[in-house]
Amino acid sequence: MGRIGEQLHAAMRGSGLAAADSLCRACVSLLDVDGAAISVVDHGQSRGTFGSSGELSRRLDDYQFTYGEGPCLDAVRLRVPVLVADLSDPVAERWPAFTASLQDAGVEAVFALPVTIAAATVGALDLFRHRAGPLDDHGLEGALAAARLAASPLLDVEQGLARRAAAGVDVGEPGEVWDELASLERTEVYQATGFLIAQADVTPVEALVRLRARAYSTGQTASEVAWEVLERRLVLDRDGSWRRGDGHGGGAGGTGGTGEREPR
Helices (H) and strands (E) in the chain, counts: 11, 8
| 3-class state of residue 88 by DSSP | coil
pLDDT for 240 = 86
Q: How far is CA 117 from the centre of its chain?
A: 19
SS3 content of the chain, % helix, strand, coil (to 5): 50, 15, 30
pLDDT for 106 = 95
pLDDT for 171 = 43
Query: Distance (Å, rounded) from C-alpha 184 to C-alpha 161?
Result: 15
Give the DSSP letter string of 222-264: HHHHHHHHHTTSEEE-TTS-EEE--SS--TTTT-S--PPEE--
Tens of pLDDT, residue by residue, the chain (264 residues): 689 999 999 999 887 888 999 999 999 999 999 999 998 887 777 777 888 999 899 889 889 888 889 999 999 999 999 999 999 999 899 999 999 999 999 999 999 999 998 888 888 999 999 999 999 999 999 999 999 999 988 776 666 555 555 666 554 444 444 445 445 556 788 788 889 999 999 888 888 888 888 887 888 888 888 889 999 999 999 988 999 988 765 455 544 444 555 544
pLDDT for 33 = 96
User: Could you tell me the domains of the chain?
Assistant: 3-158 (3.30.450.40), 187-262 (no CATH)
